[in-house]
């Protein structure tokens, strides 16, 4: 395989091959642009479900649809709030709003709304919060409408509220429909802003680091060409329904693409400049440079690709949706790394480095004085450095068990978003559990005879459920039906085919908090006990749906996927590094150092989030996303460093080889790390808290990995655990 890769780079570095390669890439971009759609045309948002749709909450939701069919779609919760109690004029305007929803003038995508105007005054009064400062008004949209239609419908409702003169009070729209509409607002033109910020930041950093305009703009041109191909391939995937093109995956892929291609460009032209000072021909110089760089780039891309492939083993839809998007992107990036990058730099030659054009001379210029000093310090004090840095990193790692995770997506929205503000108003003015009650489906394969005996048993089940800890109430009240018979059955209680009963459970705690998840988990575990104590036969099953049930399944899927991903990524990358280094020890040290870097990053980041930014919890997804990207991208620098050390060990003692490896790679790795950290830091400009924290954690982790782990800790470990063959080599040279 390596022979094949080296043959490719030998061709793409040649006089003819470089021209053919560049023309082929330009033609590919033009053809894809003309013939294929953009990924943006077919982007979608992943749901918080499983890829198979077989979690307990999803089964319960499907049962509810089958047994209690409805044409209702998403629910919008209209929240009105004043600092003082509502006036009679306000209440009259609420009547007018309710009448508008019942008229022909309402938006066509509204299925039904709370018939507030039909209720007597004492019933209307019950709809207000206990302090009479807040009103919750339910509106149900039609099933199957698009997110754009949802957004437009809620905009019309907002305009009507303003037109009725209700804009003197706080008005927010939350609930599933409000969240959907706000998501569109959040990410409108988000990819363009992200790309522009990434490009500008990379260009500025490259100018500052290398002081060459051509070196600064060339990686961006390369990334632009590659993005043109990746974007259209994803567009075709969306058009022909090969897989769902997740919008979040596309956004983060954009950052990854520019960052990795810039890294590879830095690796190539740093070695290219070195060869240009030794060889006159720009094509021969590139051929020699790529002979040494091709293997690290190939194995680097291979490890990233394997890390992304492991996402196919996940069952949580948002994780699984990243797999095809990133796998395709990484393959194209890797192809570009061994074809497009060397061809462009070979054609540019020495002019690429203007105004600091390298010239052929007999003595290689000594560069990277800073990293040369670091290399000498590491060589002299490996035990001190390894020990002291290990203590610091372990301090960060010990913070990880104190991390708190949130399963409430609204906590990731900006503070000023309507859906979040509306939800928080409801939290503050209504009982917490009423925000998202749990639906219970009592299901049997037999036909239910809703006689008094059966109703008494269900009533006893209701009592047992209501007696559980953290349960506020369970409805409906079946006493009238027990006394009067089936004619008094509550609405929507018995399914049309008579095989299921529907109940509603309201929790005392916030339905998104860990206490609520724990309560529902306990109820699932007690299913047999509850049914038996209620006198219901073993032919019945209890199914729970709703937001709490969904988040409980999300938590379980996240735990399962975390274990699977961590195990597979570590195993695959260790095996690949074994092939690349032809060693048993190196892969263990390389993976071990990056794992230590990961847990330290997570711990230190959490400490800063909690004590500096005031967060009480973070998204449950953050550790998984950070792990996959830190491990996959951090290995790049390990591979580059070890490759150079092994190369130098053929001519120098092991201690000198390590020091020289630090000197020669320190500059390019630190430059690449700065740029990679900066590109992930761009995510901090995005409005979602989850992306902000992910961008911060990745930027911090990459800087820690680049300067501390790769610059000092890992080389110190290499010196302390040097292979016996290298020890002999060291003795031979010292003699």
pLDDT tens, residue by residue, 563-574 = 999 999 999 989
Give dist(CA 590, CA 575) in Å, integer: 12
- The second-level CATH assignment, the architecture, of 72-178 is 2-Layer Sandwich (3.30)
367-415+564-735 and 437-545: identical CATH topology: no
467 pLDDT more than 80:
yes
At 481-512, the pLDDT tens digits run: 888 877 788 888 898 888 999 999 999 988 88
Cβ–Cβ under 8 Å, residues 507 and 435: no
Domain residue limits, the chain: 1-51+189-365, 72-178, 367-415+564-735, 437-545
Mean pLDDT, the chain, whole residue set: 88
Q: Closest Cα partner for 310 from 709, 687, 662, 627?
A: 627
Residue 729 has pLDDT above 60, yes or no: no
Query: Phi first, then psi: what are they for 72, rounded to 5°?
Result: -75, 145
Q: Report the pLDDT value the prediction gives residue 449, as an integer from 0 to 100.
A: 83
Across 345-372, average pLDDT: 77
- More confident site: 727 or 375: 375
Asked whether 290 and 541 are in contact (CB, 8 A), the reply is no
pLDDT in tens, 95-151: 999 999 999 889 999 998 989 999 998 888 888 998 899 999 899 998 888 888 898
- Sign of the C-alpha dihedral computed for residues 182, 185, 191 and 197 taken in this order: negative
240 contact partners, CB below 8 Å, separation of at least 6? none
- Give CA–CA dist 106/104, Å, rounded: 6
681-688 mean pLDDT: 83
Q: What average pLDDT does range 305-332 have in this prediction?
A: 93
Count other Cβ atoms within 10 Å, centred on residue 11: 17
- The model's confidence at residue 255, banded by pLDDT at 50, 70 and 90, is confident
Q: How confident is the model at residue 728 (pLDDT cuts 50, 70, 90)?
A: very low
pTM: 0.86
Q: Looking at beta carbons, which pairs linking 97-106 to residues 24 or more positions away fall under 8 Å?
A: 97/137, 97/160, 97/161, 97/164, 97/166, 98/137, 100/160, 100/164, 101/139
Domain 367-415+564-735 has CATH 3.90.1150.10: no
The per-residue pLDDT for 724 is 55
Whether the CB-CB separation of 697 and 605 falls below 8 Å is answered with yes
- pLDDT for residue 409 is more than 80: no
Q: Which of 79, 97, 95 is nearest to 175 (CA)?
A: 79
Both structure tokens of 594? 């990056």
Is CATH 3.30.1300.10 the classification given to domain 437-545? no
Tokens 């847990």 locate to: 599
Residue 255 contacts by C-beta under 8 Å, 6 or more apart in sequence? 194, 198, 679, 680, 682, 683
| Cis previous bond, 476, omega within 30 | yes
Task: Please give the pLDDT value at position 299.
Answer: 87
With respect to CATH, is domain 1-51+189-365 assigned 1.20.1640.10?
yes
Strand partners, 507: 471
Tokens 């951090």 locate to: 634
Range in 150-159, 267-276, 367-376, 461-470 with the lowest mean pLDDT: 367-376
Question: Residue 688's pLDDT is what?
Answer: 80
What's the mean pLDDT in 675-679?
A: 88
CA dist., res. 60 & res. 547, Å (int): 12
Residue with tokens 């021969």: 284
Q: Per-residue pLDDT for 732 more than 50?
A: no
Per-residue pLDDT of 136-153, as tens digits, reads 989 999 888 888 889 899
pLDDT at 734: 40
Q: Give the end-to-end CA distance of the chain in Å, rounded to a whole number.
A: 39
Q: Across residues 152-160, what is the average pLDDT?
A: 93
Is the CB of residue 375 less than 8 Å from the CB of residue 666? yes
Q: Which residue has the higher pLDDT, 84 or 416?
A: 84
């Amino acid at each position: 395989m390596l022979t094949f890769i080296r043959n490719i780079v030998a061709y793409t570095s040649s006089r003819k091959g470089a021209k053919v390669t560049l023309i082929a890439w330009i033609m590919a971009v033009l053809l894809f642009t003309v013939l294929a759609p953009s990924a943006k045309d077919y982007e979608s948002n992943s749901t918080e479900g499983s890829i198979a749709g077989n979690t307990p909450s999803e089964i319960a939701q499907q049962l509810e649809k089958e047994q209690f069919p409805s044409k209702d779609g998403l629910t919008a919760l209209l929240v009105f709030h004043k600092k003082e109690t509502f006036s009679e004029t306000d209440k009259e305007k609420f009547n007018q709003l309710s009448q508008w929803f019942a008229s022909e003038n309402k938006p066509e995508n509204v299925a039904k709304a709370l018939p507030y105007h039909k209720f007597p005054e004492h019933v209307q009064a019950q709809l207000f919060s206990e302090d009479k400062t807040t009103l919750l008004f339910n509106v149900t949209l039609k099933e199957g409408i698009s997110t754009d239609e949802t957004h437009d419908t809620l905009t019309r409702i907002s305009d009507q509220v303003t037109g009725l003169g209700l804009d003197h009070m706080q008005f927010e729209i939350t609930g599933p429909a409000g969240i959907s509409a706000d998501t569109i607002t959040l990410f409108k033109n988000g990819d363009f802003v992200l790309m522009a910020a990434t490009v500008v930041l990379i260009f500025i950093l490259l100018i500052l680091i290398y002081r060459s305009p051509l070196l600064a703009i060339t990686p961006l041109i390369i990334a632009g060409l590659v993005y043109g191909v990746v974007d259209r391939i994803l567009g075709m995937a969306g058009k022909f329904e090969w897989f769902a093109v997740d919008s979040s995956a596309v956004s983060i892929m954009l950052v990854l693409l520019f960052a990795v291609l810039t890294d590879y460009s830095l690796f190539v032209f740093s070695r290219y400049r070195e060869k240009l000072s030794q060889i006159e021909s720009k094509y021969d110089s590139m051929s020699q440079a790529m002979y040494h760089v091709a293997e690290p780039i190939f194995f680097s891309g291979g490890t990233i690709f394997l890390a992304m492939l492991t996402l196919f083993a996940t069952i949580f839809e948002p994780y699984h949706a990243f797999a095809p998007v990133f796998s395709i992107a990484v393959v194209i990036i890797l192809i570009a790394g061994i074809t497009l990058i060397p061809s462009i730099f070979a054609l540019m030659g020495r002019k690429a480095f203007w105004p600091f054009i390298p010239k052929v001379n007999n003595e290689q210029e000594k560069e990277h004085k800073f990293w040369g000093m670091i290399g000498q310090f590491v060589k002299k004090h490996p035990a001190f450095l390894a020990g002291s840095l290990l203590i610091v990193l372990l301090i960060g790692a010990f913070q990880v068990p104190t991390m708190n995770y949130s399963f409430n997506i609204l906590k990731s929205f900006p503070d000023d978003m309507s859906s979040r503000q509306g939800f928080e108003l409801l939290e503050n003015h209504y009982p917490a559990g009423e925000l998202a009650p749990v639906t219970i489906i009592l299901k049997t394969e037999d036909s239910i005879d809703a006689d008094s005996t059966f109703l008494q048993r269900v009533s006893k089940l209701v009592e047992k459920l209501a007696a559980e800890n953290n349960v506020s109430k369970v409805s409906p009240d079946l006493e009238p039906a027990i006394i009067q018979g089936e004619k008094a059955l509550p609405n929507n209680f018995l399914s049309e085919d008579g095989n299921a009963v529907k109940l509603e459970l309201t929790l005392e705690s916030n339905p998104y908090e860990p206490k609520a998840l724990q309560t529902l988990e306990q109820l699932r575990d007690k299913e047999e006990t509850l049914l038996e104590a209620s006198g219901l036969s073993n032919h019945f099953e209890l199914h729970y749906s709703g937001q709490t049930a969904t988040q409980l399944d999300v938590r379980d899927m996240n735990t399962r996927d975390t274990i699977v991903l961590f195990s597979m990524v570590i195993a695959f990358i260790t095996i690949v590094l074994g092939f690349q280094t032809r060693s048993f020890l190196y892969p263990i040290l390389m993976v071990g150092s990056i794992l230590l870097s990961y847990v330290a990053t997570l711990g230190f980041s959490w400490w800063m989030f909690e004590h500096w930014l005031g967060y009480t919890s973070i998204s449950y997804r953050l550790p998984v996303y950070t792990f996959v990207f830190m491990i996959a991208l951090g290995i790049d620098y390990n591979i580059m460093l070890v490759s150079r050390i092994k190369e130098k060990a053929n001519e120098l003692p092991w201690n000198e080889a390590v020091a020289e490896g630090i000197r020669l790679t320190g500059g390019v790795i630190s430059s690449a790390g700065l740029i990679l950290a900066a590109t992930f830091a761009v995510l901090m400009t995005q409005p979602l808290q989850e992306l902000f924290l992910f961008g911060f954690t990745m930027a911090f982790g990459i800087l820690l990995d680049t300067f501390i782990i790769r610059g000092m800790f890992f080389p110190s470990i290499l010196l302390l655990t040097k292979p016996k063959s290298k020890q002999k080599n060291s003795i031979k040279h010292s003699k």
